[in-house]
Amino acid sequence: MSLRQVAILGSTGSIGVNTLDVIRVHPDRFKVTALTAAKQIDRLAEQCIEFKPAIAVVASAEGAAELSQLLRDKNISTHVLYGSDALVTAVTESGCDTVMAAIVGAAGLVPTLAAAHAGKRVLLANKEALVMSGDLFMQAMKQGGGELLPIDSEHNAIFQCLPERFTKSPSDHFGVEELWLTASGGPFRDVSIGDLASITPEQACAHPNWVMGRKISVDSATMMNKGLEVIEAFWLFGLALEKIKILIHPQSVVHSMVRYRDGSVLAQMGQPDMRTPIAYGLAWPERIHAGVAPLGLAQLANLSFSEPNLTQFPCLGLAFAAARAGGTSPTILNAANEIAVGAFLDEGLPYLRISEVVERTLSALPSVAADSIELILSVDAQARQVARHVIEGLK
């Protein structure tokens, strides 16, 4: 068993911390080569002191100075860098063979793409990167020759339920008829849309089953998360959009399913704990301890499944429309959603306006072919500007 060298983009976030939890119990298998964070300098310093990576990256020069001082005090020789180019350096120069892509949002795109080009094993949590640039990203993975392992629990479940041959050759479907993505329905599953007007960020972030970062928690409440996941599944598994279905499953025990031509449905089950898909991706094709409690099926009263209600979750309909439109529509959807969610969390934009901002941004901009990364980044910037303008108009 060779030592896997791991760079973690977004190590101070929910996925980053869970990744280090798994790595911590397997020092014989994994070595951390790079850790990155935007602003949480104290937490990053603690991580660097424990895991001694070659490189650490933060967003600003001030943050880098603060981190350098904290590490000098402890005689840690980690090289501290800052800025977005340094995220790429962490991937290409730290000596890693594996990259956990766990930055939230579009900020993760460029370093994740660099990992794909460089032929690394990419553990993909940062679904926004794939939503923005699915075609280019999958091409980059192919050219780079590395392995792509989905970390999003639904996609990890589907990956586990597909034949291994499928993932090597998605054009031949091996009897796969449909992918069923499960969704808890979030904290407002049974709340009528009229009662959502005064929802606060704290209420939206209180997910019933999963503990996650604030942006994805809001996306789960609006179900934009599931919309982004449909687009993510489309690119990862190469099936037509009509074959990707959503099932509301409030217990979050079945993490997703694959329906086959012969009538079989394969499901992956487990606790709602991200350490399971993270451990799976880190050790694949082996299985290692993840520190996750065993699933006690006999203790569960029931497992239920139902169809989602698109009227109650307008973001889901917007994501399907953007997926069908293709081109840069998913990039625009993602950018507008990031701005609207940020405004809801930090500037008091009413909860029900999130979908309105996304819808108006999508109709203000044309969808064009997403054929270069420069174009995708410029459409992303333009959509952010339009979304900000829409929000100003709503104030």
Residues in region 373-392 near ligand NAD by CB under 6 A:
none
Q: Is 219 in the site for Mg ion (CB under 5 A)?
A: no
Burial of 180 (0-12, 13-18, 19+ CB in 10 A): buried
Q: What are phi and psi of 101, to 5 degrees?
A: -90, 95
Nearest to 9 by CA among 64, 87, 63: 87
Under 8 Å between Cβ of 125 and 101: yes
Instruction: Determine if residue 99 is left, alpha or beta; phi over 0 gives left, psi from -120 to 50 gives alpha, anything else beta.
Output: beta
- Residue 239 interacts with which of Mg ion, ligand NAD, none, CB < 5 to 8 Å by class: none
Q: What is the 3-state secondary structure (H, E, C) of 148-172?
A: EEECCHHHHHHHHHCCHHHHHCCCC
* Least separation in angstroms between CB 150 and ligand NAD: 9
Nearer to ligand NAD, 38 or 266 (CB): 38
Site residues (CB under 5 A) for Mg ion, limited to 139-178: 152-154
Which residue's Cβ has the minimum distance to Mg ion? Answer: 152
Q: How many residues bind ligand NAD (CB under 6 A)?
A: 26
What CA–CA distance (Å, rounded) separates 256 from 120? 26
List of residues 6+ apart from 130 with CB closer than 8 A: 124, 137, 231, 232, 235, 236
Residues 105-144 that bind Mg ion (CB under 5 A): none
- 182 bridge partner residues: 247
Distance, CA of 240 to CA of 173 (rounded, Å): 11
Using rule CB under 6 A, residue 107 touches ligand NAD: yes
Beta bridge partners of 1: none
Q: Which range of residues in 36-44, 249-257, 293-301, 374-382 is near ligand NAD by CB under 6 A?
A: 36-44
Among ligand NAD, Mg ion, none, residue 59 binds (CB under 5-8 Å by kind): ligand NAD
Residue 361 makes contact with ligand NAD by CB under 6 A: no
The reply to whether 338 sits near ligand NAD by the rule CB under 6 A is no
Q: Which residue is nearest to ligand NAD (CB)?
A: 13
By CB under 6 A, the residues from 129 to 168 that bind ligand NAD are: 152
Among 23, 64, 102, 131, contact with ligand NAD (rule: CB under 6 A): 102
Q: Which of 99, 103, 183, 223 binds ligand NAD (CB under 6 A)?
A: 103
Which of 181, 360 has the CB closer to ligand NAD?
A: 181
How many CB atoms lie under 10 A from the CB of residue 3?
A: 11
| H-type alpha helices, 246-328 | 275-283, 314-325
Give whole-number Cα distances, 151 to 148, 223, 278, in Å.
Answer: 10, 18, 6
Binding to ligand NAD (CB under 6 A) within 184-243 occurs at 210, 212-213, 215-216
- Residue whose CB is less far from ligand NAD, 22 or 37: 37
38/51 Cα distance (integer angstroms): 18
Q: Which of 25, 38, 345, 375 binds ligand NAD (CB under 6 A)?
A: 38
Number of chain positions touching Mg ion (CB under 5 A): 3
Question: Which residues contact ligand NAD (rule: CB under 6 A)?
Answer: 10-16, 37-38, 40, 59, 102-104, 107, 125-128, 152, 210, 212-213, 215-216, 274
Question: Which residues contact Mg ion (rule: CB under 5 A)?
Answer: 152-154
